[in-house]
Structure 1
Amino acid sequence: MSEVLNPEMLLLIFAAAVATFLTRVGGYVLITRMKTIPPRMEQALNAVPAAVLTTLVAPAFFNGGWDVKIAMSVALLVSLRYPGLIMLAAGWAAAMASRHLLGF
């Protein structure tokens, strides 16, 4: 337990918390002081969800096994036609089927 709570680790956690707080508050203050949001900033803000999703999905796809690749590919194809819950179920079913039938 002492390895986790050493002073350097506590300082790192505190610095990360302060940086997170300042970026959130800074963004709020910046946006509220503007009368209108410039078009380029609005485009950048609209791109954030896709960027976050990419940073979550890409490492799992490229570092995962074939079961993960199959499940994500099936989920992608299903998501083009059906809503999120069906896509989630299809990806899960593909992962379970590939693990069971193909031994991944």
Structure 2
Amino acid sequence: MNTKITVSSASSSNWIPVNYKQQDFKISLGLEISGTGVYKVEHTFDNPFTVASPVAFPHSVLTGIVASTDSNYSFPVTAIRLTCTSYTSGSGILTIVQGN
């Protein structure tokens, strides 16, 4: 899976489900920020297809981010989203790469 999420306002993207049953779970995250805003990556352990309001947990590193950076997940989560908590201009683009 190779997916990009863009957020261009003080809001959250849709949840992006990932393959949490993958035997060797690893996900790479690249957060590219242009303009001025504060972003965070969140994950949930709920199923976003069956739970109306999944509980969001902040990524341990990608929180309060104002410049482009990267990180990863090495433990299973069910879905990931990008949230902008303060917005002036530009956008945040989160690239999610999960191997087979």
TM-score by length of 1: 0.20
Structure with more relative contact order (C-alpha pairs < 8 Å, separation 6 or more): 2
Q: Which has the higher strand share?
A: 2
Q: TM-score, normalised by structure 2?
A: 0.21
Structure whose residues are more often helix by fraction:
1
